[in-house]
Amino acid sequence: MTGVDTGAARGPTLAARLGIDRSVTIAFGCILLILCGGALYSREFLSPEYLLQQLQVGAFLGIIASGAMMVILLGHIDLSIPWVVTLGAMMATAMVGWGGAAGVWLCIPFGVFCGAVVGVLNGLGVAYLRLPSMIFTLGMNAVVQGLMVLHTGGFAPLDQATPAMHFMAVQRSLFGIPNAVFVWALVGIFVIYVLKRTAFGRAVYAVGNRESAAYLSGVNTNRVLIGCFAFSGAMAAFAGVLLAGYSNKAYQNMGDAYLLPAIAAVVLGGTNILGGRGNYLGTIAGVILITLLQSILSVMQMPEAGRQVIYGCVIIAMLLIYGRGAKARS
């Protein structure tokens, strides 16, 4: 044998198979730390009710982060999330007015569809016009904002959520677990399946690592780009629909609070902001971490100023612990 290694015999470890790497471990460790710290402050933090509530709130962020993650894996970024969230909410609620009886049924798919359309446009700009995603999605965000301002101002449409939206976002049907958590779980399973078991998922990582090599290997890179941006748009809009159900109405700026937490959650979960590396388990950890952090700061009645400072410092500190780039000099 001339150093030929029988690699298959020594396959990946179980942890590696499940996608548990250093960043995921640290993220989950921090979650435990926050919970323990919270428990010292108040016993309420360990009650199932509190935790379920956090999961419910986290589900909205989780769904948005699922889409954001697909785009970040490509090495791109979707800055149109804020207004696409609003778009989803407004189009879904407005559909009830436009569609009458059918509108009640069509409203949720229609809201998601509108988000997907914006996503496809983002993807077209990035794939065919080869514009930097940061700048193109930013422009798209401004366009959608303009459309929504026109929509709310001009036609005074319905903005009330339907019972179905309310059901999905707020109610609990099985074992007292909020339905929103099930919705997030479905989205999560879909993402994991696509990333782990499909050629599309493999292509996502390939494009994120080196698009030219992926192209020369016969990967339809433009389709991958458009697909991921469409998914991101659809998920942002879907979260918007749920948020409308949660607060019973759609309103302007409802998505503003979600862009930075979504990106932070994905990155804290170990996904490389430059693309090509990351797994969904990390994103789950990141979402829970961000949600708990926000919750604990508000429970402690920290003023907004302090919350912002702590929020920023925690993200920096956590990233300094892991997720650092390679040294130029070894």
Partner 1 sequence: MSDRKPYLELKRISKRYGGVSALTEVDFSVYPGEIQAVLGENGAGKSTLIKIASGVTDPTEGEVFIEGRPVRFKSPTEAMRAGVVCVFQELSLLPEMTVADNLSIVDPPKWLGMIDAKGQRDRARALLKRVGCEDVHPLELVRNLPLSRRQMVEIAKALGRDPRILILDEATSALTADDVERVYGIIRDLKKSGVGILYVSHRMREIEALADTATVFRNGRKIETFTKGARSVDAIIEMMIGREVTHQYPPKPEPLDAKAEAGKPVALAAANLAWGREIQGVSFNLRKGEIVGLGGLDGQGQRELLLALFGVLKGVSGTVAVDGKPISLDGPRQAMHAPLPMALIPEDRKTEGLMLPMSVRDNMTLAALPRLLGRFGIDGDKENAAVQRMVDRLRVKTPNLDAPVSALSGGNQQKVVLAKWLMTAPGIILLNDPTRGIDVGTKQEIYRLMRELANQGAAILFYSTDYAELIGCCDRVLVVYDGKIRRELAGEALNERNLLQSALNIDASEQAA
Partner 2 sequence: MKTGALSNWRYWIAHNAGVLTAVVLFAAMFTLYISNHSAGLTPAVATTAANKAVLLALVAMAQTLPVLTRGLDLSVGMVFVMANCIASTIVVGTVGEGLLGIVAVLLIGALAGFINGAIVVWGRLQPIITTLATGAVYYGISLFVRPGPGGDVQSDIADLLTGQLFGAIPAALVVLLVVVLVVWVPYRRSVLGRAAYAVGSNEQAAYMSGVPVQRAKLLAYTLAGVLASIAGLMLTFNTYSGEASAPIAGTYTLNSIAAVVIGGTSLFGGWGSAIGSIFGAFVLRTIEDLLFVFDLPPLWQPLFQGVVLLFAVSLGAFRILRVRNRLELFS
Question: By the criterion CB under 8 A, which residues form the site for partner 1?
Answer: 2-8, 10-12, 16, 193, 196-199, 202-203, 205-206, 209-210, 212-220, 276-277, 329-330
Examine residue 46 and tell whether it contacts partner 2 (CB under 8 A): no
Which of partner 2, partner 1, none has residue 202 at its interface (CB below 5 to 8 Å by kind)?
partner 1
Burial class (CB in 10 A: 0-12, 13-18, 19+), 95: buried
According to the binding rule CB under 8 A, does residue 325 interact with partner 2?
A: yes
Q: Name the residue nearer to partner 1 (CB basis): 132 or 146.
A: 132
1 vs 101, beta carbon nearer partner 1 = 1
Query: From the centroid of its chain, how far is CA 47?
Result: 26
Q: Which does 305 bind (CB under 5 to 8 A by kind): partner 2, partner 1, none?
A: partner 2
Q: Choosing among partner 2, partner 1, none, which partner's interface includes residue 146 (Cβ < 5 to 8 Å by kind)?
A: partner 2
Query: CB of 253: closest distance to partner 2 in angstroms?
Result: 9
CB nearer partner 2, residue 100 or residue 312 = 312
**Of residues 134-173, those binding partner 2 (CB under 8 A):** 134-136, 138-147, 149-150, 153-154
- Measured distance CA(205)–CA(74) in Å, rounded: 7
Exactly one of 15, 46, 274, 300 binds partner 2 (CB under 8 A); that residue is: 274
One-letter-per-residue 3-state SS of the chain: CCCCCCHHHCCCCHHHHHCCCHHHHHHHHHHHHHHHHHHHHCHHHHCHHHHHHHHHHHHHHHHHHHHHHHHHHCCCCCCCHHHHHHHHHHHHHHHHHHHHHHHHHHHHHHHHHHHHHHHHHHHHHHHCCCCCHHHHHHHHHHHHHHHHHHHHHHHCCCCECCHHHHHHHCCEEECCEEHHHHHHHHHHHHHHHHHHHCHHHHHHHHHHHCHHHHHHCCCCHHHHHHHHHHHHHHHHHHHHHHHHHHHCECCCCCCHHHHHHHHHHHHHCCCCCCCCCCCHHHHHHHHHHHHHHHHHHHHCCCCHHHHHHHHHHHHHHHHHHCCCCCCCCC
- Give whichever of 97 and 276 is closer to partner 1, judged by the CB atom: 276
Under rule CB under 8 A, residue 300 binds partner 2: no
Q: In this chain, which stretch among 57-65, 104-112, 127-135, 166-174 interacts with partner 2, using CB under 8 A?
A: 127-135
Comparing CA positions, the residue from 265, 133, 157 lying closest to residue 208 is 133
Single out the residue of 6, 175, 329, 330 in contact with partner 2 (rule: CB under 8 A).
Answer: 329
Minimum distance, C-beta of residue 190 to partner 1, in the bound complex (Å): 12
Report what 18 binds from partner 1, partner 2, none; CB cut-off 5-8 Å by kind: none
Among 160, 171, 298, 308, binds partner 2 (CB under 8 A): 308
Q: For 177, list phi and psi in degrees, rounded to 5.
A: -90, 130
Q: Is residue 132 part of the contact set for partner 2 (CB under 8 A)? A: yes
- Judged by CB under 8 A, does residue 260 bind partner 2? yes
| Chain contacts with partner 2 (rule: CB under 8 A) | 77, 79, 125, 128-132, 134-136, 138-147, 149-150, 153-154, 211-212, 215-216, 221, 260, 263-264, 267, 273-274, 303-313, 315-316, 319-320, 323-329
